[in-house]
Amino acid sequence: MTIKLDADGTVTNPEGFQVGTATCGLKSSGNPDLMLLHSKQSCTAAGMFTTNQVVGAPVTLNRETLKSNTKNMRAIVANSGIANACTGNHGLNNAIEMQNIASKSLQCKPNEVLVLSTGVIGVQLPMEKIDKGIRKASSNLSINGGYNGAEAIMTTDTNPKHCAVEINLPSGTVNIGGIAKGAGMVHPNMATMLACITTDALVPASILRSTLKTAVNNSFNKISIDGDTSTSDSVLILANGLSGISCAQGDSRKAFTDALISLSTDLAKQIVRDGEGVNKFVTVHVSGAPSIKEAHIVANSIATSPLVKTAFAGGDPNWGRIIVAAGKSGVRFDSSKTQLWIGSKIEDELQLVEQATPCDYDESIAQHIFSQPEFYIHLDLGNGKSEISVWTGDLTEEYVRINSDYRT
């Protein structure tokens, strides 16, 4: 039983999935902005959505759709450029209209289509353009369309995000493929984080849902660009069963779960690497916590601290800011027991803090580590056995520039 990651893979790697794209003219760049993902056979489906109280119309609609149908899904239609969020009833009607247009083009039922939108908030979709775009995309559906689909859902992303995994089971081979987009407002999330995942494994809807939840909690929910969450974050998965291989129980279910975590983690890390203004990829590992939940809260507190993230940007191993960011998290710990290490790989790990006081370390080595494009920090709270890693980037002047200029 092996799991093989394919960095060039996409949602069209699994059997029976096709993607078509179109340019509706929703983005000032004039780049493709519409994607249609279709399965030639009915799929089980699951979705996870933003925890923000304010949600885009597609999130509202998908939640409804998945209430009535998780066993006969056929397609996902997605546009970039306009988020269809904060758009009231008019916006909800437009999302329903997108679903209707796609279902007509694909000759399926409306509730067999899921809808995604990402981009600017508070602007209504131009439905005539969307209508043309969906019909165009349905005319160029292709089993090689996955990469184009990844491009069509980009907003401030600088590159498309995609990968696939192949699972070799004793009973045969199963594929999972994914595409995603970032890039700001990721916590995990926006100018919306979206991910579409496909698989030809045979997975009952209820198991698909719990497996997706596990995978998302171990991947997309562990990344942070700026601590802001969006109205539209969504991860959708469709399983069409065309491999004929069941992943419903036992070893094959476990392999499927592991593979889905691998794929999701790879996509999540791609999102951080392409985060707005991000020059450095930093793993924040917190150990010695009383629970996973508390480890996660402390890690997020560090990963979202502007003072920590500007220190990353400046290549300044300012460990005081890291300890203090942990201290503000609200999680109780005895600061006199904290230890801190940094490293770009295990071999050059350097301990900076022991029992809350600075070690006698070589500052130039610490600076060298913080000057690398990828490094990690490891904080031990000395108060338990739970640990977690989250992934984040630095906070640069470029981030501020991108987000000061976004609309104007």
Report CA-CA distances (Å) from 250 to 169, 177, 245, 246. 12, 22, 13, 10
**Beta-strand relationship, 374-380 and 339-343:** antiparallel
- Dig out the tokens for 309 from the structure: 């993230």
Q: Does 94 participate in binding a copy of itself (rule CB under 8 A)? A: no
Closer to a copy of itself at the Cβ: 102 or 295? 295
For residue 20, list its beta bridge partners: 36
Q: Which of 293, 355, 373, 385 binds a copy of itself (CB under 8 A)?
A: 355
Nearest 5°: phi and psi at 195? -145, 135
56: three-class secondary structure by DSSP? coil
Q: State how far the Cα of 366 lies from the Cα of 363, in Å rounded to an integer.
A: 5
Check residue 139 and give left, alpha or beta (phi > 0: left; psi -120 to 50: alpha).
Answer: alpha
**316 in contact with a copy of itself (CB under 8 A):** yes
Query: Residue 369, class by beta-carbon neighbours within 10 Å (0-12 exposed, 13-18 middle, 19+ buried)?
Result: buried
Q: Report the residue from 68, 170, 332, 347 that binds a copy of itself according to the rule CB under 8 A.
A: 332
Q: Which residue among 44, 50, 192, 338 is the active-site one?
A: 192
Window 365 to 384, contacts with a copy of itself (CB under 8 A): 367
E strand or H helix that includes residue 168:
strand 161-169
Binding mask 217-246 for a copy of itself (x = CB under 8 A): ---------xxxxxx---------------
Stretch that binds a copy of itself, among 64-72, 86-94, 99-107, 240-248 (CB under 8 A): 86-94
What are the C-alpha distances in Å from 270 to residues 100, 119, 161, 183, 190?
Answer: 33, 19, 6, 10, 14
Choose between 37 and 342: whose C-beta lies nearer to a copy of itself: 342
Judged by CB under 8 A, the residue of 220, 281, 319, 341 near a copy of itself is 319
Our answer to whether residue 357 is catalytic in this structure is no
Stretch that binds a copy of itself, among 74-82, 142-150, 157-165, 400-408 (CB under 8 A): 400-408
Closer CB to a copy of itself, 243 or 338, in the complex:
338
What does the binding site for a copy of itself look like in residue numbers (CB under 8 A)?
Answer: 51-55, 83, 85-88, 90-91, 120-122, 184-185, 187, 190, 226-231, 304-307, 310-311, 313-316, 318-321, 323-329, 331-333, 335-336, 338, 353, 355-358, 367, 395-397, 399-401, 403-408
Active-site residue list = 192
